[in-house]
Amino acid sequence: MTGGRVSHSLRPCNHSITEAGGDGNTRSDDCGAPAAGTHPTAGVGRTPRPALAALARLVRSARSVVALTGAGISVPSGIPDFRSPGTGLWEKVDPMELAHIDAFRRDPERFWGFYGQRFATLDGKQPNDAHRALVAMEQRGLLDAVITQNVDMLHRKAGTRELVEVHGSIASCSCLRCGASVALAEARALLDADPQGIPRCRACGDPIKPDVVLFGEMLPVHALARAQRLCESADVLLCIGSSLEVHPVAGLPLLTREAGGAIAIITQGPTPLDAIADVRLGGDVAAEMQGLAEAAGALDV
């Protein structure tokens, strides 16, 4: 991260640029965004839509670009957003009740009956084009870091180097009594081997807990502090696939805004911060991110 700041003049205009996405119907664009066909970073064979081109220009001009990702970026990988109605596992239970630290402490057998299924659901999933676009941007020096609310390890699998997992990760489990830690594969083996289906600490026998932030738990202090520093110093914050409704993460874009940076929201569906976004893209997240990486020159060979 360069930590540098640039002026508001980076922004395309004083008005946000919004597109529904995909159909090319720009609803609000009298903002100096390049006309179709004239942008120098238009990529090979395709001309980016005005809002996409404007965002690519912001990214290329910025000294610090940071991404903040949520459940929506993993939907194309086959991981449903549990806030969406009618989506599998979470539909049958109340996650606020079952994936709660109190439920883990009170009834680890029931907790692991549920979380074991979640492990099985997440473990085999692979990154999609949106994850890969962020890796390409990082490798080209166009992205400083990814902050994610997701615990699914897909940014890791894709190859993101600077990654802040503010809600933890399923990559490991820990014993709350003695602090012993085991990797996901061993946790799953312990779970399968236990007669009650409770993975237990080899050292002390207590049930181990996935290293994810359960409901009722605080976010890891160091990860949150790092995320806040990144957002404060970002010239451009790309909010990708997040409904921006879960605090304290939902407050991170405001840190960027208050420090004079630009906010781009690349998410299907409304967010509480749409009104203050500099650029809003609402198409398929994988297609939008591939388009951005291409328009920004991250995919050039």
So which residues are the catalytic ones?
167
Q: How far is the CB of 270 from Zn ion (least distance, A)?
A: 44
Angle separating helix axes 285-295 and 50-61, nearest 10 degrees: 60
Q: How far is the CB of 109 from Zn ion (least distance, A)?
A: 18
In the bound state with Zn ion, the residue whose beta carbon lies nearer, of 162 and 206, is 206
In the bound state with Zn ion, the residue whose beta carbon lies nearer, of 157 and 202, is 202
Count interface residues toward Zn ion (CB under 5 A). Answer: 8
List binders of Zn ion among 204-223 (CB under 5 A): 204, 206
Among 185, 189, 203, 225, the residue binding Zn ion under the rule CB under 5 A is 203
In the bound state with Zn ion, the residue whose beta carbon lies nearer, of 204 and 276, is 204
Q: Whats the size of the chain, residue-wise?
A: 301
Alpha helix stretches (DSSP H) within the chain: 50-61, 95-98, 101-106, 108-123, 129-139, 154-158, 184-193, 221-233, 252-258, 285-295
Sheet with 262-266, side-by-side order of all strands? 26-28, 17-19, 279-281, 262-266, 236-240, 65-69, 145-148, 163-165
Among 35, 96, 178, 225, the residue binding Zn ion under the rule CB under 5 A is 178
Q: How far is the CB of 201 from Zn ion (least distance, A)?
A: 3
3-state secondary structure of 256: helix
Among 175, 212, 262, 293, the residue binding Zn ion under the rule CB under 5 A is 175
Site map for Zn ion, 77-116, x if CB under 5 A?
A: ----------------------------------------
The CA-atom distances, in angstroms, between 221 and each of 51, 69, 165, 210, 228 are 36, 19, 11, 17, 11
The C-alpha atoms of residue 164 and residue 224 are separated, in whole angstroms, by 8
> Looking at residue 236, what DSSP letter applies?
E
The C-alpha atoms of residue 175 and residue 56 are separated, in whole angstroms, by 45
In the bound state with Zn ion, the residue whose beta carbon lies nearer, of 58 and 175, is 175
Based on the shown chain and the rule CB under 5 A, indicate whether residue 180 belongs to the binding site for Zn ion.
yes
Based on the shown chain and the rule CB under 5 A, indicate whether residue 202 belongs to the binding site for Zn ion.
no
| Type of residue at 74 | S
Q: How far is the CB of 200 from Zn ion (least distance, A)?
A: 8
Residues that bind Zn ion (CB under 5 A): 175, 177-178, 180, 201, 203-204, 206
